Amino acid sequence: MANPTLSPVLPIVGVSACLYKAETPKPYHAVDDKYLRAVATSSNTMPVIIPALPDLLDIPRLVSKLDGIMLTGSASNVHPKRYRASPSPEAEPYDEMRDQTTFALIKEAINQEVPLLAICRGFQELNVALGGSLYPQVKEIADRMDHSSPDTNNMEIDYGPNHSITLDRNGRLYEILKKDDAMVNSLHYQAVNKLGDGLMADATAKDGTIEAISMPGQKSFVLGVQWHPEYKASENSTSQAIFRAFGKAVINRIQ
């Protein structure tokens, strides 16, 4: 039997959860398996789920105990009041308990210089938390394509390569991937409108939609991507590079 004292001590990454309550009399907090699995296998860290309990969590203390934070995608969207817009059917559904939790996590991750990786909804949360805004429906903007999921219920199709992105050579993503373009999947119908304070567009789609953001003035790792690198991360070189870079940042912080 292996000696547990000789096992490596893995860094701990907090992973944001959603609060699901519309379809059941028993609300529950949940995270898709693919996010947890990608963090564990491709970043070589230990994922722990952070429930959407903003009124009960001591966020500053929680963040101080974490080595990294990943914000996940979701079927819900950031509530428009967060970016000074009116609620509309186009921007639904919402999860305001998650909003409160993740916005506090973002603030503390930046304040405490804890590495932060933000995916899809998390990417949009990062932008809005820093003063940016969103388009409720990107496909309704002139000259923009439909970025939403094909919704075939076939994961290979829905999460398959959809369009290319062009990287800014001054951005964090280019530093990680070391290439000018990449193919990504696309399962979002909202998009960044105004960039948040201190953020830069690391990558854009051909129609101008911002696909990745970073924070050049921040000492710690901050990266947001609009697509889903967590899906079969170990089989995709772009995803592998992103999760490895995040894992390296997490490990470097505790060494």
3-state secondary structure of 70: strand
Instruction: For residue 77, list its beta bridge partners.
Output: 94
3-state secondary structure of 8: coil
Q: What angle do CA 38, 232, 254 make, to 5 degrees?
A: 20
CB 107 within 8 A of CB 63: no
Q: Which residues are catalytic?
A: 120, 228, 230
Q: Which residues of 172-203 are buried (b: 16+ CB within 10 A; e: fewer)?
A: bbbebbeeeebebbbbbbbbbbebbeebbbbb
Please name the residue ranges forming H helices in 43-150. 59-64, 96-111, 121-129
CB 97 within 8 A of CB 145: no
